[in-house]
A and B are shown apart, each in its own frame.
Chain A
Amino acid sequence: MMAHGALLELSKWLSATSLSREIQTIGWVIPTLQTIHILCVAVLFSSAILIDLRVLRVLQRDVSLAEVARRFLPAIWPVLPVLLVSGSLLIIGEPRRALLNTTFYLKMTLLLVAIALTACLQWSFASTFWEKRAGKSVAVLSILVWCGILFAGRWIAYTEIG
Chain B
Amino acid sequence: MGFQELIVFLEGTGIADSIRENDNLFPLIESMHVLAISLVVGSIFAVDLRLLGLAWIARPVSRVTHGILPLTWAAFVVAVGSGGLLFISNATKYLANDYFVAKMILIAIAGVNMLGFHFIGARDQSAWDNSARPPFKVRFAGGLSILLWISVVICGRWIGFTMKLG
Contact = CB atoms under 8 A, between A and B. Distances in A.
Contact-residue size bin, chain A (C-beta under 8 Å from the other chain): 20 to 34
Nearest to B157: A35
A60 interface: yes
Question: Chain A at the B interface: mostly helix, strand, loop or mixed?
Answer: helix
Given A49-B71, A59-B71, A154-B30, A42 B56 contact: no
B161 interface: yes
Interface string A119-162: 00000000000000000000000000001001101110110000
Contacts of B68: 50, 59-60
Contact of B34 (A30, A49, A150): A150
Interface string B140-166: 000000000010011001101100000
A71 interface: yes
A62 B45 contact: no
Contact of B67 (A34, A38, A42, A62): A62
B59 interface: yes
Nearest to B154: A35
A39 B155 CA distance: 12
